[in-house]
């Protein structure tokens, strides 16, 4: 398996533009998580899905952020409009079961580094 695949790896955009981040989870995993990493706040959970259904989006910072999971193999995180303070690394992770705590926990993608200028 290729692991969790995120695209793009880097995104530079101007303030006010729409940004879409993409994630392909590991085949067979039924939970998907979007995290944001910043120096100040570390790894923050933004939203997670179980069986393609959003379970908890309380970590989504504002209405400018939205996430979808139209099927088991694809998810998007959209920011519209983007602002400079959204600049961060965004990670997608997947796991086999809801709240899985197996030996391997979550599998993370390589992240998307977003810069909003």
Based on CB atoms, which residue is closest to other proteins, 65 or 106?
106
Tell me the C-alpha distance between 53 and 13, whole Å.
29
Q: Is 77 in the site for other proteins (CB under 8 A)?
A: no
Based on CB atoms, which residue is closest to other proteins, 43 or 117?
43
Q: Is 71 in the site for other proteins (CB under 8 A)?
A: no
Sign of CA dihedral 19, 60, 86, 95: negative
DSSP string computed for 35-69? EEEETTTEEEEEEEEETTEEEE-TT--STTEEEEE
Give the range of 12-20, 22-30, 73-81, 95-103 binding other proteins by CB under 8 A. 95-103
Tell me the C-alpha distance between 112 and 109, whole Å.
9
Give the range of 21-29, 34-42, 60-68, 71-79 binding other proteins by CB under 8 A. 34-42
DSSP string computed for 96-116? SSTT--STT--EE---EEEEE
Q: Is 12 in the site for other proteins (CB under 8 A)?
A: no
Q: Is 43 in the site for other proteins (CB under 8 A)?
A: yes
Interacting residues toward other proteins by CB under 8 A: 4, 33, 35, 41-43, 45, 48, 55-56, 91, 93, 98-99, 101, 103-111, 113
């Amino acid at each position: 398996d290729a692991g969790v695949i995120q695209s793009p790896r880097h995104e530079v955009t101007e303030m006010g533009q729409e940004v879409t981040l993409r994630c392909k989870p590991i085949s067979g995993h039924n939970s998907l998580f979007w995290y944001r990493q910043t120096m100040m706040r570390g790894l923050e959970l933004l939203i997670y899905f179980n069986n393609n259904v959003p379970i908890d989006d309380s970590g989504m910072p504002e209405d400018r952020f939205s996430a979808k999971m139209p099927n088991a193999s694809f998810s998007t995180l959209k920011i519209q409009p983007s602002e400079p303070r959204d600049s961060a690394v965004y990670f997608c992770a997947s796991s086999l079961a809801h709240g899985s705590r197996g030996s391997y926990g979550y599998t993370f993608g390589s992240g998307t580094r977003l810069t909003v200028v």
